[in-house]
Amino acid sequence: MNKLRSNFEKGSTRWAVRRSQWIAMGIAEEDFEKPKIAIINSSSGLSVCYQHLGKYARIAQEAVREAGGLPFEVYTIAPSDFITSAGKKARYLMPSRDLLVNDIEVMVEGAELDGMILLSSCDKTTPAHLMAAARLNIPAIVVACGYQLGGNCNGRQVDIEEVYKGVGTVLTGKMSLDEMEEWTRCAIKGPGVCAGLATANSMHCMAEALGMAMAGSTPIRADSEALKKVVLKAGKKIMELVNNNIRPRDIITKESIQNAIRVAVSIGCSVNTVRHLTAIAIEAGLHLDVIKMFEEEAVGFSQITRIRPNGPDRIEQFDSAGGTLGVLHRLRNKLNLDVHTVNNRVLADVLSEPVEIDEVYIRPVNHPFRKEPGLTIIRGNLAPNGAIVKLSAIDADRRIFEGPAKVYNDEDLAMQALANGEISSGDIVVLRMLGPVGGPGTVFACSFMAALSGAGLADTVAVVTDGELSGLNKGITIGQVMPEAALGGPLAIVEENDQVKIDLNERKIDLLIEEALLNQRLDNWKPVERTLENNWLKFYADNVMPLEKGAVFGKREGY
């Protein structure tokens, strides 16, 4: 057995005070020398995403006990994109990811526990859990705790994506408020994350593609018998990892990051997987240009699924068709197979076992739904360090788009302009000063995209932003423009009615002005002076790295 860091020297202060506490808690003395496993329950009573996690935390604890370990449930913050987004224009969302990473570090490192089972749910929890695992580098398993289902509303299938888009439909008078109220009563049936391949389910899939989640565990229906089996298996498997000293940095490597990227571009994951995989790589101590890796991988891969919002198929259909494991089987000849996984086997051994794949939902690589990747990186004078496009959410005949810029430094102003009919087909809406520094805390620009979709303009109006997007967004959206406007990126110097050209065939986005004028504007640009409240968002703005660095904490250089 691996020597446990949690077994303190007898007679030491740490040994004595902890022993006293645990005896008072009713823990048997014969358990004190066992591997001590944190069951990370990033849970909250504020959101349906987490409603079921307490039950699975108890199941995980029992599984760890049966496998010979001593489990401790550890509670952390639990951000929910649709709940935590209410305050300060959703500026708390991206900062919550890194707050959660540090929350886990304080609780687990402070107690010097031996391993972790991380119960992941809403958008920010999975990347935060993977980042924390990579940073702490103690044996860890991510358990994706599953998706919710939508309901039926007067004969129509309605889920949270429909509600999300419906705001724009109401805003433009195409649907009544009463009908929207009825949709909200039907949209969510049970706990779990948003249906569809939005950020939460995308990152669940990324956890498995990285090798940090059990094989065949993503996506998975929340509060299901299948989820219970995964949790029970994770309870046993974490003990194997501890005993064999298999750590996250043995699993999260350049090769496994590459595998995850190949899965992401093949199934059309959320644009936010780019920044999250970048952050995970940084926390793992890997010196990788993940954005460049996405750019390169996009060349040789095609889209083999079409899960909403990329197409008509539902997340539960993807799940029953084989899920992430089915995709890994499809991509087998394009993957690094000697990477380690939390299954305590290399990927080649995991994929040696057959899995039933439904070709209706997961195509072979030689017969894809679309002969292009689901995600790609574009560059140009408006995004010299790159920007992200979800090609799978854009119609094939919308690959070249040119139009006048409508510039907004506040999403509310853009929403009001939409309601007033000031945004028309052919416009390119620039939403800026919404990045990690500009927010401060990345602003949830995706609300405007959803409203645009509901207004019927998502296919004829392009959006270019440094704000945060949702995996639910579809349409001509250029996201995570780098550098962000607040750091002097070219997005900052776009003026009203400037012509912008987006050419997705050439993977380019350009501001159509003379280079001399572009440089003159950049030279004359100065940061907006502002006084920030002395709060978490100010700390974040002062310490967050650029989007190119995954928006993790560190020292910004060159800005």
Could you list the active site residues? 470
DSSP 27-52: --GGGTTS-EEEEEEE--TT-GGGTT
Which residues share a beta bridge with 73? 39
Which residues share a beta bridge with 149? 189
Distances (CA, A) of 304 to 33, 271, 307, 435: 49, 17, 10, 32
Peptide bond into 35 cis (omega under 30): no
Residue 407: what are its φ and ψ, rounded to 5°?
Answer: -105, 130
Which residues share a beta bridge with 143? 119
Q: What is the CA radius of gyration of the chain?
A: 23
CB 59 within 8 A of CB 102: no
Give exposure, 176-201, as e/b (b: 16+ Cβ within 10 Å). eeeebeebeebbbebbbbbbbbbbbb
Alpha carbon distance 499, 478 (integer Å): 15
Alpha carbon distance 212, 522 (integer Å): 43
Q: Closest Cα partner for 532 from 88, 112, 28?
A: 88
Longest dimension (CA), the chain: 76
